[in-house]
Amino acid sequence: MTAEPAAAAAARLLGERCRTDHPLGARTTYRVGGAAAAFFTIEDEADLALVSRTVGETDVAVLVVGKGSNLLVADAGFPGLALALGPGFATVALEGTSVTAGGGTDLPVLARRTAAAGLHGLEWAVGIPGSVGGGVRMNAGGHGADMASRLVGVRVLSLRTGHDEAVTLDALRLGYRRSAIAPDQVVVSAEFRVEPGDAEVARAEVDAVVRWRREHQPGGQNAGSVFTNPPGDAAGRLVEAAGCRGLRWGSAQVSPKHANFIQSRPGGSADDVAELIAEVRRRVFSTTGVDLRPEVHFVGFASSAGAVAQS
């Protein structure tokens, strides 16, 4: 008798709320790519416990999806269990100069809520189209600040072991677009320190970030910066120096507006995006000797997508 696939077993244990063959690429900002074998939205603490038991029993591969702003899902899809935090984890609580936000909270919402309360320090987050949990995982940042500059600590749950703990800032080991958060861990909530100030000034700073993004970065289907900046240089400059601005590969194109962005056409192919990332890396390496490292997280690809010879 053939063993039941792990994703199918997980879907059975999670019950009727678990969706099978669920479009996953459509949940990303690239809006291309395939389906997840199983998909479940975690609505409350009981769901967290249920998912943890299920993952432990089935050993299914898991993917925690925030707002999909840093994911590229292969056209073949993801053969495991994809998970998202529901509205119950999209909360913001203000107490003095301490802000606690649920892992499913939109970063732009967090920025606007704190600014409206006259609290300074998170205005930059209005330009990050991700969630608090995803932002912690990749130490998201922009405009001279990042999560590490304001984080106090986080609550993290291991979906594979059920271990639930408070993790300090030091233990997160936050660096440039990286952290110690493992793929099978979910950031349930995060605490930030902010500073009291003037709401009108804070809102003006939020508006300035929004204006800058609109003026300097492309719209459409993209995942923000494709490559991390190498020490002392800018990835976009290197891509342009290698002659890749505007370069096309099937349904994907390096943005003519900003060379560190790749855009996908509606109805396009995630595999085209991955091939273009790899081609840009090859050309930059050939031209400059610098091996650019993708910020994009590749999901469901059979081999190291975006590789020169993936981070």
pLDDT value at residue 309? 36
Asked whether residue 304 is domain-assigned, the answer is yes
Query: Among the three residues 167, 191, 216, which one is the final residue of a domain in this structure?
Result: 216
pLDDT of residue 2: 47
CATH of the domain at 265: 3.90.78.10
Q: Do 195 and 98 share a structural domain?
A: yes
Residues in the chain: 311
Residue that is last in its domain, among 216, 249, 271: 216
Mark whether 154 and 233 lie in a shared domain: no
- Do 114 and 72 fall within a single domain? no
Sign of CA dihedral 13, 14, 16, 19: negative
pLDDT score of 311: 27
Kind of pairing, strands 92-95 and 98-102?
antiparallel
Q: Which residues of 30-44 are buried (b: 16+ CB within 10 A; e: fewer)?
A: bbbbbbbbbbbbbee
What pLDDT shows up at residue 181? 96
What pLDDT digit, counting tens, does each position of 75-109 carry?
Answer: 999 999 999 999 999 999 999 999 999 999 999 99
Q: What is the CA radius of gyration of the chain?
A: 20
- Domains in the chain: how many in total? 3
Q: What is the pLDDT of residue 1?
A: 34
Q: Are residues 176 and 100 in the same domain?
A: yes
pLDDT of residue 3: 64
Instruction: Tell me, yes or no, whether 58 lies in a domain.
Output: yes
pLDDT at 305: 54
Catalytic residues: 177, 225, 295
Q: Are residues 226 and 202 part of one domain?
A: no
Domain membership of residue 187 (yes or no) is yes
> Quick one: pLDDT at residue 4?
81
| No. of helices (H) and no. of strands (E), the chain | 8, 18
Are 225 and 210 members of one domain?
Answer: no
Alpha-carbon span 145 to 94, nearest angstrom: 21
Residue 1 lies in a domain: no
**Is residue 53 domain-resident?**
yes
Which of 36, 65, 85 marks a domain boundary? 85
pLDDT at 310: 29
d(CA 88, CA 105): 9
What Å distances lie between residue 69 and 211, 222, 289, CA to CA?
A: 20, 8, 29
Task: Find the CATH number of the domain harbouring 18.
Answer: 3.30.43.10
Are residue 94 and residue 205 in the same domain, yes or no? yes
Q: Judging by beta carbons within 10 Å of its beta carbon (0-12, 13-18, 19+), is residue 171 exposed, middle or buried?
A: middle
Residues 125 and 228 reside in one and the same domain = no
Tens of pLDDT, residues 256-278: 999 999 999 999 999 999 999 99
Mark whether 202 and 103 lie in a shared domain: yes
The answer to whether residues 32 and 106 belong to one domain is no
Measuring CA to CA, which residue among 152, 173, 155 is closest to residue 164? Answer: 155
- Say yes or no: 109 and 175 in one domain: yes
Which two structure tokens, joined as six digits, stand for 89? Answer: 């984890």
Identify whether 170 is part of a domain: yes
Q: What is the CATH number of the domain that holds 164?
A: 3.30.465.10
C-alpha 153/C-alpha 165 separation (Å) is 10
235 lies in some domain: yes
Q: Could you tell me if 36 and 28 are in contact, meaning their C-beta atoms sit under 8 angstroms apart?
A: no
Task: Note the pLDDT of residue 303.
Answer: 66
**What is the pTM for the complete model shown?**
0.92
Q: Which domain holds residue 144?
A: 89-216
Q: Is residue 110 part of a domain?
A: yes
Q: Do 309 and 225 reside in the same domain of the chain?
A: yes
Give every residue of the chain whose pLDDT is below 70, as ranges.
Answer: 1-3, 303-311
